[in-house]
Chains A and B, each alone.
Chain A
Amino acid sequence: EPEVTQTPSHQVTQMGQEVILRCVPISNHLYFYWYRQILGQKVEFLVSFYNNEISEKSEIFDDQFSVERPDGSNFTLKIRSTKLEDSAMYFCASYPPGSSVNQPQHFGDGTRLSIL
């Protein structure tokens, strides 16, 4: 069964450094998402991406964050200058096109980001 893949599985970065998290969505999916889960908290929506542009973003997704689909397969989340509070699990998800809008999002296994 096709799946969303994320790399790396664990990223350790010094505070203030830039980090790029990578995702390969399921190949025929057109909608892409980033969510995060801080330890002990809920899974939170960050951003959605469709047709090569951001379609929706949360208040968490400030100017430090950006997303890109640099080629036909990868979808990346960049954090420009990381802060301690950016430490979390980051999940990528994708969502298929179809006649029904009621389709589930499919999640990758996440990248654990640890900011030191």
Chain B
Amino acid sequence: DQQVKQNSPSLSVQEGRISILNCDYTNSMFDYFLWYKKYPAEGPTFLISISSIKDKNEDGRFTVFLNKSAKHLSLHIVPSQPGDSAVYFCAARAQTSGSRLTFGEGTQLTVNP
């Protein structure tokens, strides 16, 4: 299932700098996109989401951008903190197909002090 793809398995940034995590999708029916953060031995924790009618959603240090024409979304974290080190999953839902989420592979973010 390649409908949601995170091409970077890992990303390393310095504390205080910006982290940019990317996600691409192929299904044009996706209308709701989410980012989840996951620590080892825990479940995915919801971080931020965006509806397909928007191109940007911001919540504190986290901003999600959606480019529908490119079928691309990104998560910006600024400033990055060591506690942000985790695996970040992009997920998408197509309301016309029910409420299931389709996940990307995840990107391991490491924020170095």
Number of A-B residue pairs with CB-CB distance less than 8 Å in the complex they form:
57
A-B contact list, 28 entries, CB within 8 Å: A31-B99, A33-B99, A33-B100, A35-B101, A42-B103, A42-B105, A43-B44, A43-B89, A43-B103, A44-B1, A45-B100, A45-B101, A45-B102, A55-B99, A56-B98, A56-B100, A91-B44, A101-B32, A101-B95, A102-B49, A105-B46, A105-B99, A105-B101, A107-B44, A108-B43, A109-B41, A109-B42, A110-B42
Chain A residues proximal to chain B, CB less than 8 Å: 4, 6, 31, 33, 35, 42-45, 48, 55-56, 58, 91, 95, 101-102, 104-110
**What chain A residues lie within 8 Å of B104 (beta carbons)?**
42
Assess whether B43 is in contact with A48, with CB atoms less than 8 Å apart: no
Q: Which residues of A contact B23 (CB under 8 A)?
A: none
With A42-B1, A42-B105, A91-B44 as known contacts, state yes or no: A104 contacts B100, CB within 8 Å: no
